[in-house]
Structure 1
Amino acid sequence: MKEEKKTEEKLRYSPEELEEFKQIILEKLEKARADLKLLKEAYTNDSGSDTNDTSPTFKVLEEGQQVLSKEENSRLAARQERFINNLENALIRIKNGTYGICRETGKLISKERLRAVPHATLSIEAKTKMRKNNIND
């Protein structure tokens, strides 16, 4: 009977392991939310140091740069919001007991992968297979 358990593949992470992942996610969430706040401030902030008193040529160039910068910050903020959402979804998976299980293979995602990408829902095996299929399509 003990031999069966040794060869039986682990299906879920232990509560201790899930707690480790939860702490990683909470730390990343805190940093991501702070970064998002900075990004939003950067593209919504209208500082008083503008170019109202400079020549029209410089004003046009600077306004163009400000528009590009605001667009880039807006894109980065949207990406950051998706990242935060993915991390929050990972916390939900921890609560409902599905965290760390590959949505394609049903096998456990490696601890190394989850430490690096704690919101991962695919194992390296599934991700590689998906990329190969996309290239071949």
Structure 2
Amino acid sequence: MSPAQRAFFRQLLEEERDALLQSARSTLEQMRSTDSEPDPSDRASTEEKFSLEFRVRDRERKLLGKIEEALQRIENGTYGWCAETGEPIGIPRLLARPTATLCIEAQERHELLERGHRP
């Protein structure tokens, strides 16, 4: 991977990380500014909305970890290389999933194993 490509993916990952962090801050501010609802049905609606937000934020928290790992791989020169085979992951796959650690063939094998099939 060329230095320009690494810089492109670093910027892409940093922008995604910043957007996720801003979204989390926005949710936190929204929760802080929400008063307790006196009406039980309004309170239930608010709690359900927050429950959904927490699930979304949990997925985003996991993605943030993957983004930080990908940024570390860019720094140490292993970004874009399959962790299993050592082969290049490929630019199209990295554009679709910048946090990918496996080439498409290795990912397909893992998915087959998860489903209980032999590759």
Q: TM-score, normalised by structure 1?
A: 0.76
Report 1 or 2 for greater relative contact order, CA contacts < 8 Å, sequence distance ≥ 6. Answer: 1
| Matched ranges for 1:7-86 at <5 A | 13-42=1-30, 44-48=31-35, 51-52=37-38, 59-86=39-66
The percent of aligned pairs where both chains have the same amino acid is 28
Runs of 4+ deviating beyond 4 Å? none
1:108–1:123 CA contact under 8 A, matched in 2? yes
Residue 97 (structure 2) pairs with residue 109 (structure 1): no
How has the CA–CA distance of structure 1 residues 68 and 99 changed in structure 2, closer, same or farther, with 3 Å as cutoff?
same
* Deviation, structure 1 residue 78: 1.6
Task: Note the residue ranges of structure 2 that are not aligned, 5 or more in a row.
Answer: none
Q: TM-score, normalised by structure 2?
A: 0.86
Query: Which protein is bigger by CA-based radius of gyration?
Result: 1
Report the counterpart of residue 102 of structure 2 in structure 1. 122
Deviations 1:60-111 (A, max 9, x none): 2111111111111112112112112211111111011111111122111110
* Deviation, structure 1 residue 51: 4.2
